[in-house]
């Protein structure tokens, strides 16, 4: 249990289906560990195929009444949910830090960010406009309306245990859809706390369901069900591809937010201090475990050494530790597999000639703690150039030529986020337009917001979340042709 909670009833340890808290039919549970201490946190039911089917049936049962509400009625329930999340920020952040490891200040930031999607889509619910089209014959009148797709499903990752759910559930519910969520195995408790608050907000039973448990069994049922009309997934590219294949027979609508391999380019004329500050955020936020984290840092030859020196100085100020402690800036990685991947990427780079400027190994705190690392003399032959590290490793590549760095930045199967620092306005446009990415940060390392469309191209996925575009993912267009 979590001692510090002011409202312990937010820390739910059962699944939430059809407005009720329930256990697995088998009675099985999974033990969730705190990644900072590696001590047991609590157990959740290990749900499987049958329970998932019940959740889908509940979502289908709730659909007619939910979509029949006026947009304003749905909007006010979402607004209440948003307010309850904000009111309970401290408790939600505590739950998040315990299950995910990020520092409490970052956890509070995620609560605000996650809640903002509910606020935004509560507003957008009322603006699902249609069209009228001049008829093609004298007696024809053409109208276009947009309706919710129906029952939806979400499969979400552990790195943003709250925001990755609200970013999907808010537009779905706003559009008049109902939803079944399968949270990541590592982080079920934020999802369940969200369900508790949805309940308190008066969101009717069956509209929002949370089913933790066996990823493959639950995923199979969600993908194969003809009742589920849309799946929204955030996670790795290989799993996204598997889910897309599993959804093919029922031709489900899909949103896929998959892996990234973000380039972060610093040109000679950049504001060096701003670039270092941006790189710190884009690289070390959440200990490097975000899909938009800078994965490859390209620095132009004229400022390479100066940038490296300042980056190392900034990294030396990071304070590793249990995210509950005051002043901690960087928590642990999620588990031993994450530590192993960072270690492999560093060893591979060192074998091929890279040098450690700072960090480079597991931290003295032990467990899942890894030292924030900067490598120099990195080149395209190394694994860090091709694969997403998902950890606190900044590899510094040196470049001379603008066209060459654009080509290197685009030389990846991924296309989620890219960043660059530069003050020459004509170069700004050239580079922003040439980068093959869904999102580009110019002179900033932080681009996520509920008001803008988040998403990638190429192997980074399909669809956009947030903004006025995000709700379209949960709507079908219907054209009505009337003869008068």
Using CB atoms, what's the residue nearest to ligand ADP? Answer: 219
Instruction: By CB under 6 A, tell whether 33 contacts ligand ADP.
Output: no
CB-CB contact of 65 with 184 (8 Å): no
Tell me the number of residues near ligand ADP by CB under 6 A: 13
Q: Cβ atoms within 10 A of the Cβ of 67, count?
A: 16
| C-alpha distances in Å from residue 356, one per residue of 122, 314, 375, 396 | 48, 15, 5, 10
Instruction: By CB under 6 A, tell whether 156 contacts ligand ADP.
Output: yes
Per annotation, catalytic residue among 51, 106, 257, 388: 257
Packing angle of the helix pair 188-200, 71-87 (nearest 10 deg): 120
Shorter beta-carbon distance to ligand ADP: residue 156 or 330: 156
Measured CA to CA, the distance from residue 385 to residue 395 in angstroms comes to 8
Instruction: By CB under 6 A, tell whether 157 contacts ligand ADP.
Output: yes
Residue listed under structure tokens 């840092």: 297
Long-range contacts of 446-452 (CB under 8 A, 24+ apart): 446/278, 446/281, 446/282, 446/285, 447/292, 447/417, 447/419, 448/113, 448/292, 449/113, 449/116, 450/113, 450/116, 450/117, 450/119, 450/120, 450/167, 451/120
Measured CA to CA, the distance from residue 177 to residue 185 in angstroms comes to 25
Instruction: By CB under 6 A, tell whether 239 contacts ligand ADP.
Output: yes
Instruction: By CB under 6 A, tell whether 215 contacts ligand ADP.
Output: yes
Phi, psi of 357 (to 5 degrees): -90, -35
Shorter beta-carbon distance to ligand ADP: residue 239 or 324: 239
Shorter beta-carbon distance to ligand ADP: residue 216 or 306: 216
Select the span of 85-93, 164-172, 179-187, 277-285 touching ligand ADP (CB under 6 A).
179-187
Select the span of 144-152, 236-244, 374-382, 460-468 touching ligand ADP (CB under 6 A).
236-244
Which residue from 53, 236, 335, 443 is in contact with ligand ADP, where contact means CB under 6 A?
236
Which residue from 35, 48, 101, 219 is in contact with ligand ADP, where contact means CB under 6 A?
219
Shorter beta-carbon distance to ligand ADP: residue 227 or 442: 227
Select the span of 45-53, 82-90, 150-158, 419-427 touching ligand ADP (CB under 6 A).
150-158
Which residue from 29, 76, 105, 185 is in contact with ligand ADP, where contact means CB under 6 A?
185
Which residue from 32, 93, 96, 184 is in contact with ligand ADP, where contact means CB under 6 A?
184
257 is catalytic: yes
Measured CA to CA, the distance from residue 209 to residue 190 in angstroms comes to 13
Measured CA to CA, the distance from residue 35 to residue 305 in angstroms comes to 35
Burial status of residue 129 (CB atoms within 10 A of its CB: 0-12, 13-18, 19 or more): exposed
Which residue from 212, 235, 372, 463 is in contact with ligand ADP, where contact means CB under 6 A?
235
The least distance separating ligand ADP from the CB of residue 158, rounded to whole angstroms, comes to: 6
Q: Cβ atoms within 10 A of the Cβ of 265, count?
A: 26
Instruction: By CB under 6 A, tell whether 463 contacts ligand ADP.
Output: no
CB-CB contact of 189 with 154 (8 Å): no
Measured CA to CA, the distance from residue 481 to residue 484 in angstroms comes to 10
Instruction: By CB under 6 A, tell whether 241 contacts ligand ADP.
Output: no
Shorter beta-carbon distance to ligand ADP: residue 176 or 219: 219
The contact set with ligand ADP (CB under 6 A) reads 155-157, 182, 184-185, 215-216, 219, 235-236, 239, 242
Q: Catalytic site residues?
A: 257
């Amino acid at each position: 249990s979590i001692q510090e909670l002011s409202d312990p009833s937010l820390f739910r340890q059962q699944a939430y289906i059809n407005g009720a808290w329930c256990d697995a039919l088998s009675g099985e549970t999974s033990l969730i560990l705190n990644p900072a201490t590696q001590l047991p946190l609590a157990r959740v039911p290990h749900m499987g195929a049958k329970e998932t089917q019940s959740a889908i049936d509940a979502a289908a049962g709730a659909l007619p009444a939910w979509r029949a509400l006026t947009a304003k009625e749905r909007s006010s329930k979402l607004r209440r949910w948003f307010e309850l999340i904000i009111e309970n920020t401290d408790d939600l952040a505590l739950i998040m830090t315990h299950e995910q490891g990020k520092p409490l200040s970052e956890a509070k930031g995620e609560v605000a960010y996650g809640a903002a999607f509910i606020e935004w889509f509560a507003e957008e619910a009322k603006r699902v406009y249609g069209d009228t089209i001049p008829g093609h014959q004298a007696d024809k009148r053409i109208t276009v309306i947009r309706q919710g797709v129906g029952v939806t499903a979400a499969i979400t990752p552990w790195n943003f245990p709250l925001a990755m759910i609200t970013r999907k559930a808010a537009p779905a519910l706003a559009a008049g859809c109902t939803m079944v969520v399968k949270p990541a195995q590592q982080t079920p408790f934020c999802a369940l706390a969200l369900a508790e608050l949805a309940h308190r907000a008066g969101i009717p039973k069956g509209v929002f369901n949370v089913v933790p448990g066996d990823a493959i069994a639950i995923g199979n049922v969600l993908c194969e069900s003809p009742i589920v009309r849309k799946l929204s997934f955030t996670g790795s590219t290989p799993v996204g591809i598997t889910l897309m294949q599993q959804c093919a027979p029922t031709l489900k609508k899909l949103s896929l937010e998959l892996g990234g391999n973000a380039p972060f380019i610093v040109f000679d004329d950049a504001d060096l201090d701003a670039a270092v500050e941006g790189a710190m955020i884009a690289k070390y936020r959440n200990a490097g475990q975000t899909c938009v984290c800078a994965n490859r840092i390209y620095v132009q030859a004229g400022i390479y050494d100066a940038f490296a020196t300042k980056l190392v100085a900034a990294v030396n100020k990071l304070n590793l530790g249990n995210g509950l402690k005051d002043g901690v800036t960087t928590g642990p990685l999620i588990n031993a597999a994450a530590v192993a991947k960072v270690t492999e990427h560093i060893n591979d780079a060192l074998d091929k000639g890279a040098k450690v400027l700072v960090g480079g190994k597991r931290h003295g705190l032990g467990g899942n703690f890894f030292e924030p690392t900067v490598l120099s003399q990195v080149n395209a032959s190394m694994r860090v150039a091709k694969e997403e590290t998902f950890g606190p490793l900044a590899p510094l590549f040196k470049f001379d030529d603008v066209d060459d760095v654009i080509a290197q930045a685009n030389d990846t199967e991924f296309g989620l986020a890219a960043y660059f620092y530069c003050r020459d306005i004509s170069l700004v446009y050239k580079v922003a337009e040439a980068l093959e990415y869904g999102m580009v940060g110019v002179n900033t390392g932080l681009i996520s917001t509920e008001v803008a469309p988040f998403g990638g191209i190429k192997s980074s996925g399909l669809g956009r979340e947030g903004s006025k575009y995000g709700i379209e993912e949960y709507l079908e267009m219907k054209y009505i042709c009337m003869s008068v």
